[in-house]
Structure 1
Amino acid sequence: MPIETKVPSQPPSSLEAWVKLLDGIRVPVPKESHDRVLQAINDSRRSLRDIAELMQDSPALVLCVMREANHSANASQAEPAESLEVALNRLGLGRTSQLLARLPALPGEEIPPVLRQFLLISQHATQQANGLFASRLARLWQEIHWGSLLFLSPMWPLALAYPKLLDTWELRVIHKGEDAAEVEQALFGVRLMQLCRSLAEHWRLPEWVIQGYRLLLEEREQLAQVLNIAREQDPLVQQQRLDDEPALRRWFNQPPNTVLLANGLALAAQVGWDNPHLLRWQLLTALYLQTSLDDVQQQVHQQAAASARHHARHALFHPAEALIWPWNQRRPHPDMLTPPPPSTEDLGRWRALCQTLLAQPSPFSNGVHLASQARDALLACGMQRVMLLSLDKATDYLRVQQTAGLPKEAATIALPVAQNKLLQKLMSKAGQLRLTPDNHAQFSVLLPAPLRAFFRSEHLLLRSLAVGEQVLMLAVADQDGKPLADVSVQAFGKTAQCIERALAVFAIRNG
């Protein structure tokens, strides 16, 4: 991974630590775009505007140039550069060329997908901003354009360093409707908007970017008041209410708000065209432009289609795809989709592993060897995260023997059976518990805290494994939080039986 700073497996938990870490991460640029820009810089016939236009295909390249130009050591001017042309002027083509040489350039398909998706959202937001606002505010088109492209840039190094955290945030906040403050505190230790603003200030990004985050953090009350007016269906009533509050009208009509509106539209459209988040941004945009909701929706759809023509990439989702879906259909998060059944190759491997588990006499030299084979069999049947725990009879603790798909810290946990009623029941006799969205609220609170932390999932299997009447192990497994495939659940049960048989034969050999 092209990262300057080594990324710790455990993410930071303070604002200062996050800013320091993300500031040191170099966001890769597509090699084809990198080469085109470098060629243009070395071509004396090309103007700064030509070079700036070429750079637009790579938002990460724009960010790098803007950051370098606005760095306190490089910027003699007090104000940060608000456009790429100004930034290029400050740096000069020689230093820009040196800067490009230091950047990691990768083929587009090798750039991590979560980062590529965020870059695509930023490009879509820029298209929305240009189509909706730039023609109306022609003198300010550069501020609108570059501010819109860079608004989400603090998320880009985060998407590169901890893509799973952002995936989990999207699943829990956007798709499941959990409280954003609680989720962000649990995942990041800080609020995301605070982190974005701090990083934007540290990088001295254009003021319009910082103002957008300031609005979301400190001026939410005014935003709520404006949204309340925007929900009025009668344009005359809307105008009267704005006239009654001139300070609020001036606050809302500020040109920098276009950057936030465009990014709000682009982000919300990632879920689908019929969702309350998107409707709010469309209503606010309609009020800003003094036009109808229908008109704004039509314009937004047109700009999405225009963006898709320029920016859509293989294996990435662009909201324009959803324009041909039924109106109320939404894009499910990948973790809400049932994984495909195991491949023929995996099933063949699973059968071979189970045959080894059933072999007599036992082929295993020790319990660790047996548990390793059991873990591999569970993975081959479709499980993606596995934890096998053995009962330490002397202390009545469950201790981890094998893990797969989990952080290395998971291998160190020990669970006291006597302190947990669910563990007591599972360890009293062989049995299986399957967590589903229907019973998750009932049973998840009964899980020991370490298991809840490592298996944050509504779809989970727990099975105690016994020889005769004596329970010896506990298997915990899921398909990385996704809904469980029926064929994998059946295979999990058969694998558990094979493991129990292997434990019995091993016990006879060592009896």
Structure 2
Amino acid sequence: MSTVQPKPNGNKDIIGSLREKLNATVLPITPAQQQDLLAQLNSDMLSLGELSLHIMSVPVAALHICRAAGEAARNRDVDILTLEQACNLLGTQRLTRLIEGIPVVEAQQLPAAYRQLISISEHAVSQAHGLFSQRIARLWHEMSLATLLFLSPLWALTYIKPHIFEQWDAMNRGVLPANVSKRQIAETTAAGFVLVQQVAQDWWLPPWILQGYRSMNSSRRTMVKALHIARNANNPQDQQARLDSDRELYRWLTQPANSLLMATGIALGAHHNWYAIHTLRWQQLSALYLGCSVDQTQHISHESAVNSARAQHQANPGQNWLPAVSLPWPADYAPTLEPAAKPASAPAGQTPAAPIRPERWRQLCLTLNAQPTPFTTLPELLDCALKAMHDGLGLQQCWVALFNGKAQQLVVGAALGFSSEQSVTGVRLGNPRASTWGNWLSSDTCHHLDSAELTRLGPILPGALRSMAPDSTFELVPILHNGQVLGLLFACNPGNQRLLDQQRQKALIKTANCVLNALLNFKQRA
């Protein structure tokens, strides 16, 4: 994760300053977590091992305990390897005082970015358990703690500077910070890795964590070499031959510390997209490490994500974005909104156009064109049409109106992207048959309207359309059958004063044709 804003020749000073702040930061837990842990400590029913497993479900408490035990262990020049070892070193009385002294804050008052990053760490533990617990069974208690705390220096950073997580979140969705180049981001990311390694050393975190950071800092070339070999997943014999010819690379790859690195990489990648190249790289490297196929690795990874989501939802329902939710989505689909972080701010009043997702759009159009129709109700059909415009073409506001023969009116049947205050569904848009309004609609396959056009066409357009027209440029696409207006599509990106690009225009017209086919097929079925 990129952790500091780029500054020429200033990274060392920034890292030093942040290091001091992170070391001084005391992370909070919720009152419910504190009460639960104290109740478990006061219970005579749990062994120290069982208690340590319970503490693992409160990651911040586990960090506090390891830091406190680390201070004592540093004086003896020993490492803290497991949470049970840390608890045993402190003793029950000191553990109780320590947990009583942790600051408490209600979950709703904690920064969303901070909660989300801790959730990612919990997901990483689940990934490590599913993928690697059998391979490193003897070390599992050590590796589970190391995986949980691997990102803990960034928990502190995100707690005091939540916007950094939001910037990282936005960058992974393709939104670069203003006036910042990719080279600056790369330099900043490298500096961030140095920072978190230094903080992990200051906190005397388990040595597996430090070894993982060393892999990213001092063994980066070796890691890149391993990633290149992992990409050749379709040729396992060639992969093995290359590993056999480079024993240094093979020794590095088989280090147990790499398991926490790969599990965390998958959890971070899945936070944005299961099918993104970053996620795939970590899955390929995991497959190389385990000596299995990428498909097997992905299957286990998906199961692990579901297990993590169940556990997290049970403990904190609805608080965080859980990547398992997105597993059923098509590979080319990503939602416009995710609860992971706030979207990057745009100029006031503007909504940036979402990217076109061709595969998603084609899939929805194929559904509309299917014979016999797959739709059992008209609302299902209209919902598919809206998704083709919204999800496939990245149009933020859209509605579909159909001609009502009984009322002799175009009536908006379904809408997407409007607030609850904007009552769109059910609005009547006049009679498009044998009228100037209908003749104008039929005159072109796509009408582009802005404020000037609205003024010029004022007498022709229905009053309801003029009153609900946005300040932005918008498109009206008629659904025509035998020269008659059967329906109407509306599409708009709020705040955008420019016409749609040619690709979207053509796709929007094609969508109208698909909706027509769907309506005709639906009528035949009825």
TM-score normalized with structure 2 length: 0.60
| Contact 1:30-1:106 at 8 Å conserved across structures | yes
| Contact 2:269-2:278 at 8 Å conserved across structures | yes
Structure 1 vs Structure 2 CA RMSD: 2.9
Q: For the residues of structure 2 that align with 1:123 and 1:339, how far apart are their CA atoms?
A: 36
In structure 2, the CA distance between the partners of 1:487 and 1:231, relative to structure 1 (3 Å rule), is closer
- Show the counterpart of 2:24: 24
- 1:267-416 map, 5 Å: 267-312=268-313, 313-330=317-334, 334-335=342-343
Q: For the residues of structure 2 that align with 1:122 and 1:311, how far apart are their CA atoms?
A: 11
- 1:181-192 map, 5 Å: 182-183=184-185, 191-192=191-192
| Contact 2:227-2:281 at 8 Å conserved across structures | yes
| Contact 1:114-1:159 at 8 Å conserved across structures | yes
Q: What is the CA-CA distance between 1:315 and the residue it aligns to? A: 3.9
| Contact 1:271-1:331 at 8 Å conserved across structures | no
Q: For the residues of structure 1 that align with 2:89 and 2:28, how far apart are their CA atoms?
A: 23
Q: For the residues of structure 2 that align with 1:180 and 1:256, how far apart are their CA atoms?
A: 29
Q: For the residues of structure 1 that align with 2:285 and 2:182, how far apart are their CA atoms?
A: 21
In structure 2, the CA distance between the partners of 1:288 and 1:185, relative to structure 1 (3 Å rule), is closer
CA shift digits 1:213-256 (9 cap, x unpaired): 11111111111111111122211111111111122111110111
In structure 2, the CA distance between the partners of 1:185 and 1:250, relative to structure 1 (3 Å rule), is closer
Q: What is the CA-CA distance between 1:85 and the residue it aligns to? A: 0.3
**Letter of the structure 1 residue corresponding to residue 127 of structure 2:** Q
**Letter of the structure 2 residue corresponding to residue 205 of structure 1:** L
- Specify the SS of the correspondent of 2:76: coil
In structure 2, the CA distance between the partners of 1:174 and 1:215, relative to structure 1 (3 Å rule), is farther
Identity of aligned residues (%): 32
- Show the counterpart of 2:166: 167
- Show the counterpart of 1:243: 244
- 1:69-468 map, 5 Å: 69-71=69-71, 73=72, 75-172=74-171, 175-176=174-175, 182-183=184-185, 191-232=191-232, 233-312=234-313, 313-330=317-334, 334-335=342-343
- Specify the SS of the correspondent of 2:45: coil
**Letter of the structure 2 residue corresponding to residue 182 of structure 1:** Q
In structure 2, the CA distance between the partners of 1:310 and 1:78, relative to structure 1 (3 Å rule), is same
Q: For the residues of structure 1 that align with 2:181 and 2:49, how far apart are their CA atoms?
A: 44
- Show the counterpart of 1:368: none
Q: For the residues of structure 2 that align with 1:141 and 1:214, how far apart are their CA atoms?
A: 20
In structure 2, the CA distance between the partners of 1:163 and 1:336, relative to structure 1 (3 Å rule), is closer
**Letter of the structure 2 residue corresponding to residue 130 of structure 1:** H
In structure 2, the CA distance between the partners of 1:263 and 1:58, relative to structure 1 (3 Å rule), is same
| Contact 1:36-1:54 at 8 Å conserved across structures | no
CA shift digits 1:167-212 (9 cap, x unpaired): 12332355336766513767x9x82111111100110101111111
Q: For the residues of structure 2 that align with 1:138 and 1:179, how far apart are their CA atoms?
A: 44
| Contact 1:173-1:180 at 8 Å conserved across structures | no
**Letter of the structure 1 residue corresponding to residue 334 of structure 2:** R
Q: Is 2:39 the counterpart of 1:39?
A: yes
Q: For the residues of structure 2 that align with 1:137 and 1:55, how far apart are their CA atoms?
A: 22
| Contact 1:172-1:183 at 8 Å conserved across structures | no
| Contact 1:83-1:142 at 8 Å conserved across structures | yes
In structure 2, the CA distance between the partners of 1:243 and 1:41, relative to structure 1 (3 Å rule), is same
- Show the counterpart of 1:466: none
CA shift digits 1:55-90 (9 cap, x unpaired): 12211100000001001x554532221111000011
**Letter of the structure 1 residue corresponding to residue 31 of structure 2:** K
Q: What is the CA-CA distance between 1:37 and the residue it aligns to? A: 1.0
CA shift digits 1:298-352 (9 cap, x unpaired): 111110001000013414211101112121223556325889989xxxxxxxxxx
Q: For the residues of structure 1 that align with 2:348 and 2:127, how far apart are their CA atoms?
A: 36
CA shift digits 1:30-75 (9 cap, x unpaired): 222211111111123321112112212211100000001001x554
In structure 2, the CA distance between the partners of 1:487 and 1:180, relative to structure 1 (3 Å rule), is closer
Query: 5+ unaligned residues in a row in structure 2: which ranges?
Result: 1-10, 351-491, 499-526
- Show the counterpart of 1:48: 48
